[in-house]
Each structure stands twice: as C-alpha cells, then as structure tokens.
Amino acid sequence: MKILFCIHDFHPRNLALQPWLTIHRVAKGLIELGCDCHVLTDCGGEESIEGIHIHPVDSLRGTNTSQVTACLKKIRPEAVIVSVTPLSLVTTGWYRALPNYRAFAFLSYPFYNLRETVNAIPHLDNGDRWAYGRHQLIPPPLWRNALNRFFHGAFCQSKRSGDRIAPSEESSFCVYPIPPGIDKERWFPATDDKSVENQCSFLYTGTPSSIRGFNLVLDAFKKLGRVDVRLKIMARGGDGHTHRAIQQHAEGLQIQERIEVSTGWASQDDLRQAIWDADAVLLPFVLVPSELPVTVMEVIACGRPVIVSDIDGLPEAGSGCTLVVEQADADSLADAMHRFCEDRTSLMKTFRFTERRERMLSWNSVAKSWLDVLREEGHAS
C-alpha cells in the first residue's frame, strides 16, 4: 500500500519531537508491514529518511496548490494523511483534490476552545499568541465542514481531541483516537527503587518556555516556600545564555539555592536517570503544541508520577499516575506539589504504574492500528 504523509518541516532535526515523532515512527512501522511510505514536506534536503521517500515542495499552504496537486498526481498514493489545523482547513486550496484519494486528517494541532486559549494568552509570547489565537478566528462550522468535505476520517492521539471534532451521527466522517507509542525497552523502572527521604525533589524537563508552563513551575516553587523541597531543571536544548537567564529568574524569586539547572541535549540514559532520581515530574503545559507529548508516558513507564495540567490529552495519557492541576494556574500547581510532599508515601501506593505501563502501545502496534484504519479494518469512535 502506498501511503503519503503531508506535514511541514519534516527534517531529521525534528524527528525526536512531536508531531514529527509520530509520523516518523508510524511510517517506519508501516514500512515494516510492507507499505511504501512517502512524505510531502516544505523542508527539502533529504531524499529519504530510513526508507521514507521525501518529496520537497516550496510550501504546503493553499497558495502553492498547483505544485502540491502535481505531486499528488505524480506519487499516486492509495492513502493520504494530512496534518491539519482549523486555519489550514479553510484556507488550503489543494485540500479540494483530496476526495480523489482516501484522505485522512492528522490532528497534530489540538483544537482548543476559546476558554482554554484565553486562559493561556497571559502566559504566551507574541509569536505563540498569534500562532494559537488566529485559529480561534475560524468558526467551528467552517472547519467542521472542511473536515467532512475533504477527509474520510481523522487520526488523533487523545479522546478529548476526538470528542471535539466528533461529527454528527448522520455523517460518514470517522474519528480514530490512537495514542502514541513508547519504546518500553528504553523507559523502564529503576532496579532499586528510590526510598522516601525527608527531602522531596521535583524534576522539570523540556525547553524552558512559557507555553510548556516553565514560568508557572518557578512561580509555584516560590509559592511552595519549603526548604525541604528541591527542583531540578533540565532545560533541554538550552545553552549558556539559557542557563544564565534561568538563574537570574530564580534569583529574582529568591529560590536559586533550592534549584539545580542543566542545559544542552541530555542522552536518554541521563534523562532516565534524572526521572529515577526525582520523586515526581512537573509537566504543567499551558497549551500542548502537539496534542500529546510522549514525555508524560516515558515518565510513568519509569515508575514516577507526573503533575500535569488539565489540558488536551495529558490527564488521559497519565491516567492513574498523575496529579492534575488547573490550566495556567500557579496556585493550583503549588497546592498539588504541597499535597504530594505531605502525602507522597500514601500517594505512591495509589499510583498504578505497572498497569498503566502495560497498556502503553509499542510504535509497531500503533502503526498496525493506523494500517487497520487505512484498510478499513479499524473501528471508528
């Protein structure tokens, strides 16, 4: 089966990040299942990536309709999977060619409601405010109509997203919530589990950006005000300037003596060890740029609980192993951190790490589920 994925900026530098991670790993799994996988992207320079044929175009926007439709005719895929947003659904002219193929949308962007966007705005920089706020300008009936007109169905990674785009009963459009996979051989509990000490330690990992809730973490840690609590920050991808900026921010909050900061790209072994060393990991996203980050699953697979915000698929992904706080609320985060410090012995007994880990899919299983849908053997939600 020849399958074409259409997604912007598909490049080796991005393949460890969502949503490119999912497309990359699903395509690899489909190739192992005998499929011929292609990617149409606006990022050139690669002819193939691990058996995936790359087809560069100038742009995937609606203004480049002639080039994209020419590529579709040349490749002649049996199925097309397109990364969509509310804005792209109503502005991209080449989507009109998709009914000629068996086309599916991929929700790499969470379809947030107005309340969630408004809550997030004070915590976003100007670039993010434009990137997310502009989608609220698109009335839901317009993007819903486009989904039904151009696509047979949609892949998403959380039930919450699936529910938001669920069609009316009379529609033939189908929604397929399939979570991302995880490499269980890389993410596993420590052999000698951490004993509960008097001092409680939290870990923040990821880029230190406001959209990921990094500023909320520092504010909540300040509000917590406990000398027996430590915070480790792994500012992944950061440099010396990043390190200095975090230290200055911490000094302004007078918490610099209780935090540890590292920057750069840590190895998976180092990240796994940092998760093991922590009592809990903080992932209080303000908005989730790619619907469902796999980090929350990796942490749980390592046997550690996660404190997440009630946004998108985070509570669902960590079901049974999380404390859930209000979106974009430092007070709620501080309260959850305090509760964990006070009750962590009893709380740790309630977290169902083994059960949740066993339910996590491998990437090959995820690819098989996608292929079942593409072959009309899957079941819609």
Whether 366 is covered by a domain: the verdict is yes
Q: Decide: helix, strand or coil at residue 193.
A: coil
Instruction: Verify that 367 and 350 share a domain, yes or no.
Output: no
Instruction: Verify that 125 and 221 share a domain, yes or no.
Output: no
Instruction: Verify that 16 and 101 share a domain, yes or no.
Output: yes
Instruction: Verify that 176 and 94 share a domain, yes or no.
Output: yes
Instruction: Verify that 206 and 222 share a domain, yes or no.
Output: yes
Instruction: Verify that 109 and 208 share a domain, yes or no.
Output: no
Q: Decide: helix, strand or coil at residue 202.
A: strand
Instruction: Verify that 229 and 345 share a domain, yes or no.
Output: yes
Whether 87 is covered by a domain: the verdict is yes
Calpha distance 212→365 (Å, rounded)? 29
Whether 189 is covered by a domain: the verdict is no
Instruction: Verify that 160 and 217 share a domain, yes or no.
Output: no
**pLDDT value of residue 380:** 47
Range of the domain at 21: 2-181+362-374
Whether 379 is covered by a domain: the verdict is no
Whether 19 is covered by a domain: the verdict is yes
Cα separations in angstroms, 325 against 216, 235, 290, 328, 337: 12, 22, 20, 9, 10
CB 223 within 8 A of CB 254: no
CATH of the domain at 320: 3.40.50.2000
**pLDDT value of residue 378:** 46
Helix axes 363-374, 20-32, angle to 10 degrees: 80
| Residue 129 identity (one-letter amino acid) | R
Whether 191 is covered by a domain: the verdict is no
How many domains does the structure of the chain reveal? 2
Instruction: Verify that 263 and 331 share a domain, yes or no.
Output: yes
Whether 195 is covered by a domain: the verdict is no
Instruction: Verify that 278 and 157 share a domain, yes or no.
Output: no
Whether 334 is covered by a domain: the verdict is yes
CB 76 within 8 A of CB 102: no
Global confidence as pTM: 0.94
Mean pLDDT by 10 residues, the chain (381 residues): 97 92 97 98 90 97 96 97 96 96 89 92 91 91 94 93 84 91 96 74 95 96 94 94 96 96 94 96 91 89 97 91 97 98 94 96 97 76 47
Instruction: Verify that 18 and 156 share a domain, yes or no.
Output: yes
Calpha distance 147→235 (Å, rounded)? 38
